[in-house]
Amino acid sequence: MTFSPSVIAREREEFGAVPEEYPKVDGFQAVVDSNSLGFDANRGIHRRSIKYFNRDQGVFCRGTSPGFLKCLWGNPQARLVLDFHSDHAVAALEYLKQNVFAE
């Protein structure tokens, strides 16, 4: 439900003014979907809930940045998951593009 078009539109309206501090990857939409969950003093960045998704390929990711994210994809018979730290978001999402989108 949190990936529905209406929820995404509402979150973009509410949190769209958040500075562009979070990684972006071609082929994935990124949506910050929370107020600050705390401040990472070492990085100088607010920790927020974030989603990455590509509806066409059926890849949906959710987690915190900085923090851990989880991506899900596949079909009803076989769901696949990839867990990773947000520091590796670009590499992980690029990996998914090369391996999932090519199928």
Q: Going along 1-103, which residue ranges are E strands?
A: 29-32, 39-40, 45-46, 48-54, 59-65, 68-75, 78-85
Instruction: Give pLDDT, residue 19.
Output: 53
Q: Is residue 69 within 8 Å of residue 59, measured between CB atoms?
A: no
- Give tens-digit pLDDT for 32-63: 888 889 999 998 888 999 999 998 999 999 99
Instruction: Give pLDDT, residue 3.
Output: 80
Phi–psi pair at 36, nearest 5 degrees: -60, 135
- Give tens-digit pLDDT for 63-85: 999 999 999 999 889 999 999 99
The distance between the two most distant Cα atoms of the chain, rounded to a whole number of Å, is 43
Q: What is the pTM of this model?
A: 0.83
Give SS3 for 85. strand
CA pair distance 22, 92, nearest whole angstrom: 14
